[in-house]
Amino acid sequence: MIAQEPTLKNRPEFINVRIKRQNGPGQEPYWELHKIKYEPEMNVISVLQRIAAQATTVDGKHVTPVTWDCGCLEEVCGACTMVVNGRVRQSCSALVDRLLSDNPDEIVLEPMSKFPVIRDLMVDRERLFRGLQRVKGWVPVDSYYDMGPGERQLRDTQEQNYPLSQCMSCGCCLEACPQFLKIEVPRKEGETDEQYEARKYAEYDKGFVGANAISQVMLFNNHPTGKALAKERLDALTGPGGIAACGNAQNCVAVCPKEIPLTTSIARAGRATTVHAIKKWFER
Amino acid sequence: MAEKRVAVVGGGLAGLASVMKLTELGVKVDLFSLTPVKRSHSVCAQGGINSCNDQTRQLGDSEWKHFDDTVYGGDFLNHQPPVKEMAMWAPKVIDLMDRLGVPFNRTGEGFIDRRRFGGTLYKRTAFAGATTGQQLLYALDEQVRRQEAEGMVRKYEFWDFLRPILDEQGNCRGIVAQDMVSMEIRSFPADAAVMATGGCGLVYGRSTMSVFCNGSAASRCFQAGAKYANGEFIQVHPTAIPGADKLRLMSESARGEGGRVWVPRKAQDPRAPQEIPDSDRYYFLEERYPEYGNLVPRDIATREIFDICVNEGLSVEDDRMCVYLDLTHIPAAELDRKLGGILEIYEKFQGVDPRVEPMKIFPAVHYSMGGLWADYVKSSDGGLEPGAPENHMTNIPGLYAIGECDYHYHGGNRLGANSLLSCIFTGLFTGPSIVNYIDSQPHDAVSQELLDSARQAEIDRHQHLLTGNEGSEENPYLIHQELGDLMTRVATVVRKNDQLTEALVKVDELHKRAMKVNLSDTGGWTNQNVLFAKALQDMFPLAKCILKGALQRDECRGAHYKPEFQKPPLTAEDPAERRRQAEAWCDEFEANNERYLKSTIATWNADTMQPDLTYEDVDTSSIPPRPRLYGLVGADIIEEVWQERAKAKAEAGQYATT
């Protein structure tokens, strides 16, 4: 498909952008309409940059610039996830021409709904990284000294692992998942950083760990040294918030911007945890 | 004994490698990053990571040759001991990353596969698909998460580094940082601090770098007294996709597979590219360099594309500079097989299928070779002395600089696939140095007064930005746009003294205006407006280093190119006369090195708000400098003369032969 026909006649002069804003955690969200000049080859990030520079709504009211999170703008860092026209995705690769051809009237931007809003379009995804800690998503090497090369690996193994290791922790799969529900832990007066973190992690750990973390379990359990922790990872998936919480809605795989075979990972994890549970039962 | 604690600022490859090594050595780390560390700019690296390996060794390669390629690629502006050490460590770094689970591509037998990269003759580059940086970063991120789970690391993500805390002796005793969410400003005492904060692409407005690569952390150290070196050396990659928000890299392999670069002969020809007949197309690289065509070396391609748009006004578009990179003559199936990944990037971001329509590309700022000045101790074999506390320490004791934000390894120009190596190497290698430094210090607690006053200075700055400039019309985003446009125009591909002189005046004006910005958001919660304004103000000292450094360097070296001072090719046909010209050429080359084979060292002068420049000799003790002659007429005879001279010098015992 060629979106940028130089002969295209119906380019709008202005674009309407409707943004769901929220001044801080626990505050009421509100909608704001911005109007910016159309330029060719815009994406949602450049739209937000124009809005920040102009900081005025469609009715001429001076407002604070919209807050959002972004990084590489090449769809590889995972920072700029938001809900664009009702669909969760990376905003850097959300091209205005395509969005306008779906809905010529306006572009609607909302923060992800499954994570606590920090401000406007920026959310707190710490729970996502906690999930990686929960499943011990790493290779437990002895040391960082030079001990020679790792174990030789078949090309097949590399080709199975490579897609899984492209997960950029963007959170699209979690936003789309009906079983992954928002957990917001407001800070209490007088709580130290450590106390707050411990309480927050305890709450997070009760919730569904999500497709991305399950897929990482499969990645590391398939690594020659990584599999040393296979049992512990499967334990983590057997408990509450583990693999049993997956309702097999398959939304995750549909929204993954990296097209990671998440449902395949979930199915493999399902079998592995079952075998693991039976083995454990016999070992009792 | 008091607990050892180090503050590491920056969570890319260098920062994470440093955290990993320090925690292994029993040091606790506070890790600061503008973004969750897994999202650091290192994820963007595509190509791969270099090392001499079992395969290349059997073809005559060695660590020494990797060292030589790096120094030659950098136009001899690299101090040689750190580069030598890095090349020696390279195979170990690959092995470690392999053990940590990086999914390097494999050969059929299961060994790590390699590919060739520009500037080398051997297949030295290990890679993981087209996302090597991402895979390396994730492996380090996972190890740091493991150390975090074991209580060795406290991560401060979404925290902005504001300044190093220096005691009365001038030693670094901690840092001040700001929570980008709650806006809280806090002092963090530390036995040492490590800056691993990457490049400064945002000084150019748009580059191939991520939005947080604004150089502000390095600039804040610079303004606090750290030296900044070789600022003028900025690598510009020939082909990137110009975007309204950023410039995305388009790999050199597109030309390698037969891509042709052209513009319409008529300025801003309104026709669709497919409708422009061959006779109306200007394949300028092929016409100007019949021998090399579209595969001229990177710096030449960059300059020619720039020239055709800027000086000849033949940009494809009138309001934006770009040329066509055309792959449409190659069958789509072949393109998919060889270039699938990068074509998808173009398709995804431009909404255009490059199999059907030529890509629009332009050079883009890509890498900062310069950075914070850092020390080292040379070992008896010409490498680095392991564990010496001075390795990678800035001129502020206890403040270290590693990765892209230090000035070592790349000299005048960066060799492809060496940056990932330099980041991981410096992170690992400096671990024991930092520990030894800490052990050499008296462990008296940092005074509360010192911590408080550093914090208060930053609170004052913050408050002033929020409320101090009422009535001013200055908008930080618009000033940034002006700065970026100016820097891109005068200090990227081609540098001219009159333009640089003018730009210095203009940048000074912009700096003053930036100090008076009036913010539309004066709130105390996740105020990105004020954080951006601060970063903007701190871009100016670096911008001035780049401009002034470039102005004072009257030569062509690596990425720094001044046409006025380019050495002409040989013209004589008569062999004797040609030989005489070559001798003269070599004399001039030596005389030029005498003047300019030096690192530019900047110190910040707060009174004049300008950098003061001095120069430092480059350590060329292992490999004598030689001319880079790619594409020059008469290169063969110049090389002959040069080698005779080098041999004579070697015999006189000036350099060790290898």
Is residue B90 within 8 Å of B51, Cβ to Cβ?
yes
Given strand B49-50, what is the order of strands in its sheet? B49-50, B125-126, B114-115
Q: Is the pLDDT of residue B420 over 50?
A: yes
DSSP of B223-251, one letter per residue? Answer: HTT--EE-TT-EEEEEEEE--SS--EE--
Asked if A3 and B148 come within 8 Å (Cβ–Cβ), the reply is no
**pLDDT of B10-49, one tens digit each?**
999 999 999 999 999 999 999 999 999 999 999 998 878 9
Sign of the Cα torsion B161, B162, B166, B171 reads positive
Q: What are phi and psi of B584, to 5 degrees?
A: -65, -40
DSSP code, position B347: H
The whole-angstrom separation of Cα A149 and Cα B51 is: 13
Q: Is the pLDDT of residue A124 over 60?
A: yes
**pLDDT of B385-399, one tens digit each?**
999 999 999 999 999
What are the CA-CA distances from residue B194 to residues A225, B183, B362 (Å)? 31, 23, 35
Instruction: Give chain A positions within 8 Å (CB) of B36.
Output: 79, 125, 129, 169
For B137, the 3-state DSSP assignment is helix
Q: Is the pLDDT of residue B189 over 70?
A: yes
The whole-angstrom separation of Cα B554 and Cα B566 is: 9
A3 falls in which pLDDT band (50, 70, 90)? very low
The whole-angstrom separation of Cα B95 and Cα A160 is: 21
pLDDT at B118: 64
Looking from the CA of B477 toward its CB, the CA atoms found within 13 Å total 16
Is residue B176 within 8 Å of B188, Cβ to Cβ?
yes
The whole-angstrom separation of Cα B184 and Cα B182 is: 5
B329 falls in which pLDDT band (50, 70, 90)? very high
**pLDDT of B564-607, one tens digit each?**
999 888 999 999 999 999 999 999 999 999 999 999 999 999 99
DSSP code, position B199: -
Looking from the CA of B58 toward its CB, the CA atoms found within 13 Å total 2
Among B103, B134, B146, beta carbon nearest to A158: B103
Within 10 angstroms of residue A249's Cβ, the number of other Cβ atoms is 13
Asked if A137 and B142 come within 8 Å (Cβ–Cβ), the reply is yes
What are the CA-CA distances from residue B506 to residues A112, B476, B485, B576 (Å)? 43, 16, 12, 50
For A97, the 3-state DSSP assignment is helix
Closest CA to A217 of A143, A277, A161, A275: A161
Determine the residue of chain B that is closest to A95 in CA distance: B349
The whole-angstrom separation of Cα B169 and Cα B190 is: 15
DSSP code, position B265: S
Asked if A136 and B356 come within 8 Å (Cβ–Cβ), the reply is no
Q: Is B557 a catalytic residue?
A: no
Q: What are phi and psi of B422, to 5 degrees?
A: -65, -35
Mean pLDDT of B83-91: 98
Among A132, A152, A223, beta carbon nearest to B145: A132
Catalytic residue among B163, B173, B298, B553: B298
Is residue B216 within 8 Å of B29, Cβ to Cβ?
no
Bridge partners, residue A109, by sequence: A19, A84
pLDDT at B657: 46
Closest CA to B105 of B119, B123, B121: B123
The whole-angstrom separation of Cα B515 and Cα B537 is: 6
The secondary element (H helix, E strand) that includes residue B272 is none
Encoded tokens for A16: 């309407």
**pLDDT of A64-117, one tens digit each?**
999 999 999 999 999 999 999 999 999 999 999 999 998 999 999 999 999 999
Encoded tokens for A69: 């999170």
Is residue B294 within 8 Å of B255, Cβ to Cβ?
yes
Strand B399-401, strand B371-372: pairing: unpaired
Q: Is the pLDDT of residue A140 over 80?
A: yes
What are the CA-CA distances from residue A267 to residues A210, A218, A234, B291 (Å)? 13, 10, 13, 56
Closest CA to B46 of A168, A67, A74: A74
Residues 127-156 of A with CB under 8 A from B: 129, 132-133, 136-141, 143-144, 146-150, 152-155
Mean pLDDT of B449-462: 98
Asked if A141 and B92 come within 8 Å (Cβ–Cβ), the reply is no
Instruction: Give chain B positions within 8 Å (CB) of A69.
Output: 35
Q: Does A8 touch chain B (CB under 8 A)?
A: no
Sign of the Cα torsion B381, B382, B387, B389 reads positive
Strand B192-195, strand B5-9: pairing: parallel
Q: Is the pLDDT of residue A2 over 50?
A: no
What are the CA-CA distances from residue B457 to residues B21, B333, B358, B451, B462 (Å)? 33, 61, 53, 10, 9
Q: What is the ipTM of this complex?
A: 0.96
Residue with the bigger pLDDT between B19 and B470: it is B19
Q: Does A60 touch chain B (CB under 8 A)?
A: no
Q: Which long-range contacts (CB under 8 A, 24 or more apart) does B19-23 make?
A: B19/B144, B19/B147, B19/B153, B19/B427, B20/A144, B20/B140, B20/B143, B20/B144, B20/B147, B20/B427, B20/B428, B21/A144, B21/B427, B21/B428, B21/B430, B21/B431, B21/B432, B22/B431, B22/B434, B22/B435, B23/B144, B23/B147, B23/B152, B23/B153
